[in-house]
Structure 1
Amino acid sequence: MTGTDHLITGATVLTMDPVTGAAPVTRSIRIRGGEITAVEPTLTAEPGEDVIDGRDRLVVPGYVNAHTHSWEALFRARLDNLPLEHWMLLSYPVLGLAPLSPDLIRLRSALVAIESLRNGVTTLVDDVLEIPGQTEEQLAAVFETYRDIGIRANISGHVMDRPFVAHFPFLADALDPAERRALDALTVCDTGDYLAYAQAAAARYRDYADGRLRFMVGPSAPQRCSPELMVGLDELARRHDLEFHIHVLETRTQAVTGEEFYGKTMVEYLHSLGVLGEHVTIAHGIWLTDSDIEVLADTGASVSHNPISNLKLGSGIAPWRKLRDAGVNLGLGTDGMSSSDTARMSEVVKAAALLHKVTGPDYRRWPTAAEVLTAGTLGGARSARLGATVGSIEVGKRADLVIYDMTALAFTPRNAPELHLVYSENGSSIDTVMVDGRVVMTADRLTTIDERAVLDELQARGPELRRWQDHLETLNRSLLPAFDRQYRQVMSRAVPVDRFSGHGDCWLN
Structure 2
Amino acid sequence: MTTFIKGATILAMGGQHSAEPFTGDVLVEGDRITAIGAAVQAPTDATVIDGAGKLVMPGLMNAHLHSNEALFKGRYDNMPLEVWMLYSYPILAAKRLSERLVYLRSMLVAIESLKTGVTCLSDDLYESPKAEMELLGAAFQAYDDIGIRATVSAHVVDKNFLDTIPFTRETVPQHLQDEVNKLSPPTVDDYVGFVKQAHDRYHGRSGRLRFMLAPSAPQRCTPELMLAANDLAKEWGIPFHTHVVETKVQGVTGPALYGKSLMRYMNDLGLLNPWTTIAHSIWVSEDDIALMGAAGVSVVHNTISNQKLGAGIAPVRRLLEAGVNVALGSDGICSNDTPRMFDVMKAAGLAHKINNPDWSRWLTASKVLHACTLGGARSALIEKEIGSLEVGKKADLLILDMQTVNFAPLNDIRNHLVYCENGSSIETVMVNGEVVVQDGRLTKVNEKALLAELRALMPEFQAYTRGVEAANQPFEPAFADIIRRCYGTDLGFTRWASDAG
* Partner residue, 1:120: 117
User: Are residues 128 and 104 of structure 1, via their aligned partners in 2, closer, same or farther at CA, if it must alter by over 3 Å?
Assistant: same
1:271 deviates by 0.8
Superposition map of 1:222-233 within 5 A: 222-233=218-229
User: Are residues 167 and 141 of structure 1, via their aligned partners in 2, closer, same or farther at CA, if it must alter by over 3 Å?
Assistant: same
Superposition map of 1:100-499 within 5 A: 100-210=97-207, 212-498=208-494
**1:16 counterpart = 2:44:** no
Partner SS for 1:357:
coil
Contact map agreement 1:249 1:285 (CA 8 A) in 2: yes
**1:505 counterpart = 2:493:** no
**1:97 counterpart = 2:94:** yes
* Partner residue, 1:51: 48
1:359 deviates by 4.0
* Partner residue, 1:25: 22
1:384 deviates by 0.4
Counterpart CA distance in 2 for 1:309 and 1:356 is: 15
Counterpart CA distance in 2 for 1:292 and 1:359 is: 22
1:260 deviates by 0.8
The one-letter amino acid of 1:478's match is: P
The one-letter amino acid of 1:67's match is: H
1:259 deviates by 0.5
Bigger mean CA deviation after superposition, 485-494 or 349-358: 485-494
The one-letter amino acid of 1:41's match is: A
Could you give the per-residue CA deviations for residues 119-158 of structure 1, whole angstroms, max 9, x where no partner exists?
1000010000001211110111111110111000110000
Counterpart CA distance in 2 for 1:128 and 1:145 is: 13
**1:65 counterpart = 2:62:** yes
Counterpart CA distance in 1 for 2:283 and 2:15 is: 31
Counterpart CA distance in 1 for 2:142 and 2:43 is: 34
The one-letter amino acid of 1:402's match is: L
Counterpart CA distance in 2 for 1:473 and 1:164 is: 17
Could you give the per-residue CA deviations for residues 77-123 of structure 1, whole angstroms, max 9, x where no partner exists?
11111111111111111211111111100000000000000110000
Could you give the per-residue CA deviations for residues 164-215 of structure 1, whole angstroms, max 9, x where no partner exists?
11111111111112111111112311111111111221222232112x1011
Counterpart CA distance in 1 for 2:205 and 2:41 is: 34
Normalised by the length of structure 1, the TM-score is 0.96
Contact map agreement 2:400 2:425 (CA 8 A) in 1: yes
Q: What RMSD over aligned residues (CA atoms) do the two structures have, in Å?
A: 1.3
Partner SS for 2:253:
helix
1:326 deviates by 1.4
User: Are residues 275 and 232 of structure 1, via their aligned partners in 2, closer, same or farther at CA, if it must alter by over 3 Å?
Assistant: same
1:228 deviates by 0.2
1:504 deviates by 6.0
1:216 deviates by 0.2
> Unaligned regions of 5+ residues in structure 1, if any?
none
The one-letter amino acid of 2:379's match is: S
**1:37 counterpart = 2:34:** yes
Bigger mean CA deviation after superposition, 111-120 or 23-32: 23-32
Contact map agreement 2:154 2:214 (CA 8 A) in 1: yes
User: Are residues 108 and 140 of structure 1, via their aligned partners in 2, closer, same or farther at CA, if it must alter by over 3 Å?
Assistant: same
Contact map agreement 2:65 2:123 (CA 8 A) in 1: yes
1:496 deviates by 3.2
> Unaligned regions of 5+ residues in structure 2, if any?
none
Partner SS for 1:81:
coil
Partner SS for 1:483:
helix
1:330 deviates by 0.5
Bigger mean CA deviation after superposition, 352-361 or 238-247: 352-361
Partner SS for 2:430:
strand
Contact map agreement 2:125 2:154 (CA 8 A) in 1: yes
Counterpart CA distance in 1 for 2:323 and 2:399 is: 30
1:19 deviates by 4.1
Work out which of the residue numbers 48, 64, 76 in structure 2 matches 1:79: 76
Counterpart CA distance in 2 for 1:467 and 1:367 is: 44
User: Are residues 22 and 174 of structure 1, via their aligned partners in 2, closer, same or farther at CA, if it must alter by over 3 Å?
Assistant: farther
The percent identity for this pair of structures is 47
Counterpart CA distance in 2 for 1:380 and 1:231 is: 24
Bigger mean CA deviation after superposition, 181-190 or 388-397: 181-190
Bigger mean CA deviation after superposition, 16-25 or 154-163: 16-25
Partner SS for 1:12:
strand
Counterpart CA distance in 2 for 1:370 and 1:178 is: 54
Counterpart CA distance in 2 for 1:21 and 1:187 is: 51
Tell me how many residue pairs correspond in the alignment.
Answer: 501
Contact map agreement 2:9 2:24 (CA 8 A) in 1: yes
Contact map agreement 1:23 1:418 (CA 8 A) in 2: no
